[in-house]
Chains A and B, each alone.
Chain A
Amino acid sequence: MNLLVLAAEEPQNPLIPPLPELVIGLIAFVIVFGFLAKKLLPNINKVLDERREAIEGGIEKAEAAQTEAQSVLEQYKAQLAEARHEAARLRQEALEQGTALKEELRAEGQRQREEIIAAGHAQIEADRKAASQALRQDVGKLATDLAGKLVGESLEDHARQSRTIDRFLDELEAKAEAAR
């Protein structure tokens, strides 16, 4: 085969654009440009924006979560401090109450002791008074009895007199023994 037969026409200047090729070239480019500019690139731009927003949203969410965690932590810390404070306060209060109670009990004990002592004293006094009363009556009676006996018997004999007195005293002692 001969090259010259293959190309029937003379080769023209390669720098002069043939019109049909120019037209087809422009059409081909317009097809590409049209699809990309009108449909496909807006599509991807939308998604790229969404992606950026998603990433930024994620960061914001994480930041919010961190802030919340921080605030919760602070809240817990505050609560804990408050609880500790409360416990200390309660302990202090209990201590104070305990001391007061002890004090009160001691005072009460003192008071009761004194009361008992006073009651004992009063009792003793009363007993003594009663005894003294009884003794006075008895002494009077005994004195009368003794006088009667002395009068009834002869007073001339000094020996008899002293015997009588001795007897009286003996009786008195015996009475005191019996009374005890």
Chain B
Amino acid sequence: MSAADMTLAFEIDCHFEDGTGCGFPGPTLYSFLFKPMFGNDDVYFNKTMLLALLGSIIIVGFFWAAFRKPKVVPGKLQMVAESGYDFVRRGIVYETLGKKEGEKYVPFMVALFFFVWIMNLWSIVPLAQFPVTAIIAYPAGLAAIVYVMWMSVTFKRHGFVGGFKNITGYDKSLGPILPMVMVIEFFSNVIVRPFTHAVRLFANMFAGHTLLLLFTIASWYLLNGIGIAYAGVSFVMVVVMTAFELFIQAVQAYVFVLLACSFLQGALAEHH
């Protein structure tokens, strides 16, 4: 990709008190926009799409190498892949949905976890350095799939009336406040839930990337005169934030899948 596709901090030749009078070029929404590599305004292909597809290929490639011809006595790669698989299967799906109900959702949740994680990980991969999930379209698409899934499971399991009761938290013992609870529950589950599900991931990655950008740009911008001392501090922050992002990326992938499982759990739960 050409230099025009991304604006790195050092490409802005602007330093602290360098006499040109330029201010601190902090990260803006433009930092999350990429000029299409090809295509027009409506149909195009840009860096995040490339990273998304590349990420898919990496996941499939990794699991292909590990599980294509699996052995009863596993090699190193198979062992690593198995532990990842087992983490999602036992640690998330069985924990929330139980072994019996959860078994058929395991492949989806495994795919979801590793997909989100890799998309997050791009944030700290040199040259890529952009979390794909910081573009709302990717979390939104995944959240939409989960939303459709648990909604259809709800109505399939409980029928139309039962499903409606399930979603609205119908409970006779609540008495006079029941209608209010139902309205709130309906609003919370049907409208807010998918939105928060997607935005939680998006916002975390968006903020993480903004922080990294901020300190990276600051390290470069302060690299003049007295500012050099502060540039050092800023650079240390870049390293610290990178490590922190590594942690947050895994946590957000985990939370995203855990929430998907918990929505399904609610959908599968017997109504009292």
Contact = CB atoms under 8 A, between A and B. Distances in A.
Interface of A: 1, 3-4, 6-9, 11, 14-22, 24-29, 31-33, 35-37, 39-41, 43-44, 46-48, 50-51, 54
Nearest to B44: A20
A150 B195 CA distance: 183
B53 interface: yes
A54 B43 CA distance: 54
A32 B71 contact: no
B59 interface: yes
Interface string B199-220: 1001000100000000000000
Contacts, number: 141
A47 B43 CA distance: 44
Q: Which of B45, B114, B137, B202 has the most CB of A within 10 A?
A: B137
Interface of B: 4, 7, 11-12, 25, 28-30, 32-33, 35, 39, 41-46, 48-49, 52-53, 55-57, 59-60, 63-64, 66-72, 78, 81-82, 85, 106-108, 110-112, 114-115, 132, 135-138, 140-142, 145, 199, 202, 206
B67 A25 contact: no
A6 to B, nearest CB: 6
A29 B111 contact: yes
A29 B72 contact: no
Contacts of B4: 6
Contacts of A21: 46, 48-49, 52, 135, 137-138
Given A37-B107, A41-B67, A22 B56 contact: no
Contact of A6 (B35, B56, B81): B35
Contacts of A39: 68
A38 to B, nearest CB: 8
B111 A17 contact: no
A48 B43 CA distance: 44
Q: Which of A8, A14, A17, A29 counts the most chain B CB atoms within 10 A?
A: A29
Contact of A37 (B45, B67, B108): B108
A77 B59 CA distance: 63
Contact of A20 (B32, B43, B112): B43
A27 B29 CA distance: 26
Contact of A40 (B11, B28, B64): B64
27 contacts: A1-B7, A1-B11, A1-B12, A3-B25, A3-B28, A7-B30, A7-B35, A8-B35, A14-B29, A17-B140, A17-B141, A19-B137, A21-B52, A24-B52, A25-B132, A26-B141, A26-B145, A28-B56, A29-B56, A29-B142, A32-B114, A33-B115, A39-B68, A40-B60, A41-B107, A44-B81, A44-B85
